[in-house]
Amino acid sequence: MIALLTGATAFTEHRPPPRPRPPDGPLGWAGYDAARRRAAARTGEEESVVYGTGSVGGRACVLLSFEFGFLGGSLGGPTGDRLTAAYELALTRRLPLLALVATGGSRMQEGMVALTQLQRVAAASVRLRAAGIPQIAVVRDPTTGGGWATVGAGADVVLALPGAQIGFAGSRVRPPDADPYAYSAEGQFAAGQVDAVVPPGELATAVAHWLHALGPHEALPPAPVPRALPPAGEPSRAEAADAGTVEAAVTEPAHAGTEGTADAEPAHAGTEGAAGAGSTPRLPATGREAVARARDPRRPRTEAYLADYFPERLPLHGDRSGGTDPGLLTGFGLRADGRPVAYVAQCGTPTRPAGYRAAARTIRLADRLGVPVLTLVDTPGAANDAEAERAGAGAAIADAFAAIAAARVPVTTLVIGEGGSGGALALASPDNTHVTADSYFSVIAPELAAAILKRAPSETGATADQLRLRPQDLVELGIARSIVT
pLDDT at 265 (0 to 100): 36
Residue from 301, 368, 357, 348 nearest 330 by CA: 357
Give 293-336 pLDDT, tens digit per residue: 999 999 999 999 999 999 999 999 999 999 999 999 999 999 99
| Predicted confidence (pLDDT) at residue 131 exceeds the cutoff of 80 | yes
Instruction: Quote the CA–CA distance of 430 and 375 in Å, as a whole number.
Output: 12
Q: How many CB atoms lie within 10 A of CB 178?
A: 13
Q: Exposure pattern of 151-161 as b/e (b: 16+ CB <10 Å)?
A: bbbbbbbbbbb
State the distance between the two ends of the chain, measured CA to CA, in whole angstroms: 48
pTM assigned to the model: 0.89
Could you tell me which residue, 286 or 272, shows the higher pLDDT? 286
Q: How many CB atoms lie within 10 A of CB 376?
A: 24
pLDDT at 232 (0 to 100): 60
| Predicted confidence (pLDDT) at residue 264 exceeds the cutoff of 80 | no
Q: What percent of the chain has pLDDT over 90?
A: 85
| Predicted confidence (pLDDT) at residue 281 exceeds the cutoff of 90 | no
Give 228-251 pLDDT, tens digit per residue: 998 765 555 554 444 433 222 222
Instruction: Quote the CA–CA distance of 286 and 267 in Å, as a whole number.
Output: 20
Which CA distances in Å does 50 have to 13, 39, 86, 95, 217? 7, 14, 9, 17, 27
Which H or E element spans position 196? strand 196-197
Instruction: Quote the CA–CA distance of 90 and 454 in Å, as a whole number.
Output: 62
Residue from 295, 478, 319, 299 nearest 379 by CA: 295
Mean pLDDT of all residues belonging to the chain: 90
| Predicted confidence (pLDDT) at residue 287 exceeds the cutoff of 80 | yes
Give 364-408 pLDDT, tens digit per residue: 999 999 999 999 999 999 999 999 999 999 999 999 999 999 999
| Burial (0-12, 13-18, 19+ Cβ within 10 Å), 108 | middle
Between 67-76, 199-208, 273-282, the lowest mean confidence (pLDDT) is in: 273-282
Residue 44 sits at the vertex; the CA angle it makes with 42 and 50, to the nearest 5 degrees, is 125
**Contacts of 70 by beta carbon, 8 Å cutoff, 6+ apart:** 39, 40, 42, 43, 45, 47, 48
| Predicted confidence (pLDDT) at residue 270 exceeds the cutoff of 50 | no
| Predicted confidence (pLDDT) at residue 54 exceeds the cutoff of 80 | yes
Give 402-453 pLDDT, tens digit per residue: 999 999 999 999 999 999 999 999 999 999 999 999 999 999 999 999 999 9
Task: For 441, list phi and psi in degrees, rounded to 5.
Answer: -140, 125
pLDDT at 171 (0 to 100): 86
pLDDT at 248 (0 to 100): 26
